[in-house]
A and B are shown apart, each in its own frame.
Chain A
Amino acid sequence: MKREKQLELLSRWRDGELPPNERVRVEAARAALGGEAEQAWEALGEHLRAQPVPAPTPEAMWNDVRRAIRVAQAEPAVAVGAGGRWNWAVAALAVLFMVGVGFLGVRIWLAPSAEAAMPRVAWVEAELPGSSAMVYEDEASGAVVIWLMTPDEGPSGEEQL
């Protein structure tokens, strides 16, 4: 197991987020990691927890919040009550927007649907002599990986993906 992978598991173990079978593996490998990372992470946690928080009193905060709520409640009332002409302008803009969106929708609907159906990678050419390429799409991040497999690498290169 590579060191970085072990550290990643150690991080999850520290947080109590490992299933039992992996927990045993990590606990067995802990000594080999030297404790440096664990000490550093512990110190980081301590630093974060020790940071003093200069919170205002609850009453002061509630006063702030109550004032802000009043202001927020007053704002839309002014806008809406500004008169008939304003309301007409808003309505006209809304209709304009909706009709525009409608036309856009129709255009997209009428457009060839091939774009949506087209795969993310249309084609790949591995141009180094003797090389080939493989494509991998990672669902979690949405990343697409186009990986060049060179002759010296052999099939073991796939381990990197």
Chain B
Amino acid sequence: MKMWIGIVLAAVCVGFATPALAQQPMEVEAMLILASNEPAPLDRRLERVDYLLRPVLRFETYRLLGQGSVLLGAGGSTSLALGDGHVLYLRMGKKGHVEVSWQRGEERLLSTSVGLKRNKPTILGGVPQGDGRLIVTLMVK
């Protein structure tokens, strides 16, 4: 009997601890990409996202300008420098959403609150640069 009481008590602890585990920090990977219609060789570094971008965005070529990843914990905030003066500010918002602010130097480009999901990339884009557009892909690792 004692053993069963122990099991049930342990299970209660597991049950209440599990949601806390679900809110473990998530690793967010971001890539800064220049999309254009200028002919250029395939950028091998973009292999993992190239085939995701092509069906959604109709550009001819994609070139990686910078990338980085960061751990984002519950209620935490952080920033991620992607090169060329581009910085992402990330803050864990309510109900699993992440508030993202994309800046180029002091210039704010785009802010949003988006639910980041594993295997479902988030693509921010449209910022003009030269003959192309800048894109930031966000993926949860």
Contacts and interface: CB of A to CB of B under 8 A. Distances in A.
Do A and B contact each other directly (Cβ–Cβ < 8 Å)?
Answer: yes
Interface of A: 2-5, 92, 95-97, 99-104, 106-108, 114-115, 118, 120-128, 131, 133, 136, 138, 140-150, 152-153, 157, 159-161
B110 A5 contact: no
A102 B126 CA distance: 45
A141 B112 contact: no
Interface of B: 3, 7-8, 10-12, 14-16, 18-19, 35, 37, 52, 54-60, 93, 95-97, 107-115, 117, 119-128, 133
Given A118-B97, A141-B52, A102 B108 contact: no
Contacts of B11: 95-96, 99-100, 102-103
A4 to B, nearest CB: 5
8 contacts: A121-B112, A123-B112, A138-B55, A141-B121, A143-B120, A146-B125, A150-B128, A159-B58
Contact of A115 (B7, B96, B126, B127): B96
A102 B124 CA distance: 38
Given A126-B110, A148-B109, A5 B58 contact: yes
Contact of A102 (B15, B54, B93, B107): B15
Contact of A99 (B15, B35, B124): B15
A142 B15 contact: no
Contacts of B14: 96-97, 99-100, 103
Contacts of A150: 126-128
A100 B18 contact: yes
A84 to B, nearest CB: 14
Q: Which of B8, B37, B56 has the most CB of A within 10 A?
A: B56
Which 5 A/B pairs are nearest by Cβ-Cβ distance?
A103-B15, A99-B11, A148-B126, A100-B14, A142-B120
